[in-house]
Structure 1
Amino acid sequence: MLTLHTAPLLRRDQSGAPVPGHAVLVNGDRVGAVGPLAELTGAYPGVRVRRWPGTLGPGLVHDGPLPAAPTPRERVYGLLRDGVTAVLAEHLGDPALRAAVDRSDLLVLAAAAVPTLRPGGRADLAVHDVDGACLVTVVAGRIAHRRA
């Protein structure tokens, strides 16, 4: 199913300037397009549109040990609450933790990489409010965390 994710501001990468009125078209687990909301809704009539407050951008890469929590699942959820969609393999030595990461569909990277929203890329997105709190985390095209 095609879904447009949009917010008042969109960043293609974490260092780029945010632009207003843009959206990300998600097709399954991939980014189908990134561009002006009006163009994308015109090109895809009837598409489901999810409007989020804040700034939409690529999911974050966590480059340290996973947060402490009683269970591996809770450690992974701690990342999702922050907008993380990728972790480094070097921090996943515990098999139970690695299994929890795999079940969550977090991307496991051999080395840190700069996440970018681009057509054909994996649909890993996050929306943060003005204070930096994560409102929504989308992992491989599905909502994995949504703040109430």
Structure 2
Amino acid sequence: MLTLHTAELLVAGPGSTPLPGGAVLVEGDRIAGVGPYEELAAARPHARVRRWPGVLTPGLLVRGADELLERTYYPDDPYEIAELGADPIRGRAALAELTMTESRWGNSARRGTQKLLARGVVAVTGRFTVPSVRTAVVRSGLTVLPPAARPSGARPSQGRPEREASLDPFAGWDAAEQAFHGALEPGAPARFAVFAAADPEELLTLGATSCVATVIGGRLLHRRR
């Protein structure tokens, strides 16, 4: 099925000129076209249309996801929050008190990957050694890259220490495009996100929780309710 995703502003990739009223045409799990909505809609009049507010960008990449998913516990809502609180739990001592099991790590990782998808994340780096966590990541649809990999076009700030792993891919960067994974172009995998922001610069202020939709492999895996 053909689906045309359009937003108030399209940023196709690092260094690209923002396109007002831009759109991405998706066929299956691939991008079939990128450009002005009017042109793509006229060329494919039978495509299903999804209209989004804000900025449509490439999906985001989170580095050090093994820290976020294998050394961080996400309490289950509502069962554990009354006892443990809602904040993620880190640190050897705190995790030791939880008596973590393989099953518990897997359940926590599923909640963690949902948090990532809700922030426009489409890819992560890390080496996952806990089988249940690895399974949760694979099933989530997230692309897993080696720890040394960087998103295409990303460049860390000069003189800045290595960034700590964060659920927010924009944290610590000078420009939103440094968190992008790849670019939106015909033939590329259909993985992108939409954020409730006026422009790319505002993304750094609002953070990735402004995400309203995440698409991976042409499938809508997150949509803000």
TM range (shorter): over 0.9
Counterpart pick for 2:192 among 125, 129, 144: 125
Q: Is the 8 A contact 2:19 2:36 kept in 1?
A: no
Q: Note the 1:22-41 alignment, pairs <5 A.
A: 22-41=22-41
Q: TM-score, normalised by structure 2?
A: 0.62
Counterpart pick for 2:129 among 90, 93, 105: 93
Q: State the distance in 2 between where 1:144 and 1:14 align.
A: 23
Counterpart pick for 1:116 among 178, 183, 187: 183
1:104 to partner: Cα distance: 1.4
Instruction: Tell me which residue corresponds to 1:103.
Output: 139
Q: Is the 8 A contact 1:14 1:57 kept in 2?
A: no
> Which is further off, 64-73 or 112-121?
64-73
SS state at 2:213 partner? strand
Q: State the distance in 2 between where 1:107 and 1:13 align.
A: 18
Which structure 1 segments of 5+ residues have no match?
A: none
Q: State the distance in 2 between where 1:119 and 1:105 align.
A: 21
1:18 to partner: Cα distance: 1.9
Q: Note the 1:2-41 alignment, pairs <5 A.
A: 2-41=2-41
Deviations 1:10-55 (A, max 9, x none): 0011553421021000111111110111110111011101000010
> Which is further off, 66-75 or 112-121?
66-75
Instruction: Tell me which residue corresponds to 2:160.
Output: none
> Which is further off, 72-81 or 61-70?
61-70
Taking only the aligned residue pairs, the percentage that are identical comes to 49
Q: How many residues align?
A: 147
Q: Which has the higher helix share?
A: 2
1:92 to partner: Cα distance: 2.4
SS state at 1:54 partner? strand
Letter matched to residue 130 of structure 2: D
Q: Note the 1:132-143 alignment, pairs <5 A.
A: 132=207, 133-143=210-220
Q: TM-score, normalised by structure 1?
A: 0.92
Q: Note the 1:69-84 alignment, pairs <5 A.
A: 69-70=74-75, 71-84=108-121
Letter matched to residue 80 of structure 1: L
> Which is further off, 16-25 or 134-143?
16-25
Q: Is the 8 A contact 2:117 2:221 kept in 1?
A: yes
Q: CA RMSD in A?
A: 1.5
Q: State the distance in 2 between where 1:98 and 1:35 align.
A: 36
1:91 to partner: Cα distance: 4.1
1:64 to partner: Cα distance: 2.1
1:60 to partner: Cα distance: 0.2
Deviations 1:57-86 (A, max 9, x none): 110011123363241110111100110000
